[in-house]
Structure 1
């Protein structure tokens, strides 16, 4: 069963945080992405809560957490700061970080920060920033698949969604990724209830508007950004990457070259899952995650 508490953080936002499992279990912080919440992990919780202390915040801008309206409040360093402020508040000195989608982007950035409390990293269908930006410039298929980012950044996109209706946006969000018939009506209602809160959908879009990633239009030649041409630090913590290979938004080419950017890397490919692997195929995530943790925690 998931327990909830609101945690005011030193970063100035209050996050709604779900927890499950034993308080004395090894701590795992799980970060969701767009367009979700702590509920991303609804299928995983029953598979891990027997042993692990699961900590599942709604990230800033989502669901039950504070939703600043300025896109600058969603530059990657802001949610990374939220993460470590939550770690401070909970008094953790050893934790595993699991991130999906935008939660994975935060997780990559957090690992690169080198905080000694972050001991193990698990990333689910979320690209490393170097590989992602490079692919948006050099790979036509990934560039085409990412044009939705440009749409989300457009002024007035939230008004367009409200005009089309939340039901239609729900269908557009998940069609092509999962079988819509597999999402129960009560789950759909919960998504729409979260999105339609005043200011929340704008805040969710601000993750895209505040991000530094460059998404060129199709067919345009652009140079590689300076940060891709310089030596980039490697991730030092042991890392597991689990990838749903049917992901149509973040193509499997995001795995190419990852071993050069992560010192201790394990990759688990899930052939029959797409982008929303954590709840589409929760066992396919929980199994390798347990194996990874047992090998690293020695229990």
Structure 2
């Protein structure tokens, strides 16, 4: 049975963390993306909890976790530090890491540190930072699909979203990605309640504002930034990439060249799902994760 508690971390924030599975089972930390919470894994976790200790935080700025002020509080290094601090606080010596969307961005960055505590990496529809930045420069289709990032960085976007209403924001965020008829009304309301917390919307959007990713306008001349070179180091832990192939925001181009950046790579393509594949195809995601986490 899933339980949740707030866990103070050495990084100065307290995270709301859902935990499931046997306490003595291999630990798996699962990181959600935007604009979600640990609820990303609501249909996947029950399929894995019999043989894994699942640790599912609301990352800083999301759900029931702390929402520190200022863009700098959401820099990538701070987000990775939270993840490792969570493992330390819970007494987890080694673990597998699973990340979707922005959670995958944190997971990629964590794996590139080479910390021996991280034993396996699973990514769900989240691009490798070097591949993503390169595609934003060189791939017109991906650049066009990513203009929402610039919109989310705009100074007054929160005011616009509040004016439109959080129900509108739910539909706008998910309708192009997933059949909303599969989302119960109570689940929809949980998201709206999270977003309605004071400062929540700004905190979530600050993830985009703090990212160093350059998103040129269509047709704009641009060069790959220097920081991207640091992310071309090889990921040396076994890595599974699960990709919903109908993702309109993160195109299949994100899978091209991964074998050059990951030493031990598996790719599981789910053809009939999109970006929110943990919602759309939880059984397929859990099956791929279960096999991978077991070491097969």
Deviations 1:126-176 (A, max 9, x none): 000000000001111111111111001000111100001111111111111
Give the deviation of 1:227 after TM superposition: 3.7
* Structure 1 portions without partners, runs of 5+: none
Distance 1:106 1:125 in 2: 13
Distance in 1 between residues matched to 2:231 and 2:86, nearest whole Å: 31
Shift of 1:280: 1.4
Note the alpha carbon deviations across 1:42-93, whole angstroms, 9 max, x for none.
0011101111100000000001000012011111111100001111111111
Contact 1:99 1:106 in 2 (8 A): yes
User: Residue 20 of structure 1 aligns with which residue?
Assistant: 20
Matched with 1:109 is 109
Residue equivalent to 1:269: 269
List, as ranges, runs of 4+ consecutive aligned residues in structure 1 with deviation greater than 3 Å.
227-231
Structure 1 residues 121-132: aligned runs within 5 Å: 121-132=121-132
Write the distance in 2 (CA, Å) between the matches of 1:49 and 1:223: 45
Deviations 1:174-200 (A, max 9, x none): 111011222111111111000110001
User: Structure 1 residues 231, 269: closer, same or farther in 2, change over 3 A?
Assistant: closer
Q: Within 2, Cα distance between the matches of 1:196 and 1:156?
A: 17
CA distance in 1, matches of 2:184, 2:268: 28
**Structure 2 unaligned residues grouped into runs of 5+:** none
Q: What is residue 173 of structure 1 aligned with on the other side?
A: 173
Number of aligned pairs?
296
CA RMSD of aligned residues (A): 1.1
Q: Secondary structure at the match of 1:131?
A: helix
Look up the match of 1:153: 153
**Offset, 1:229:** 5.5
How has the CA–CA distance of structure 1 residues 230 and 49 changed in structure 2, closer, same or farther, with 3 Å as cutoff?
A: closer
Secondary structure, in 3 states, of the residue corresponding to 2:54? Answer: strand
1:225 paired residue number: 225
Question: SS state of the match for residue 295, structure 1?
Answer: coil
Compared CA separation, residues 231 and 108, structure 1 to 2 (3 A): closer
Which whole-Å CA distance do the structure 2 matches of 1:38 and 1:139 have between them? Answer: 32
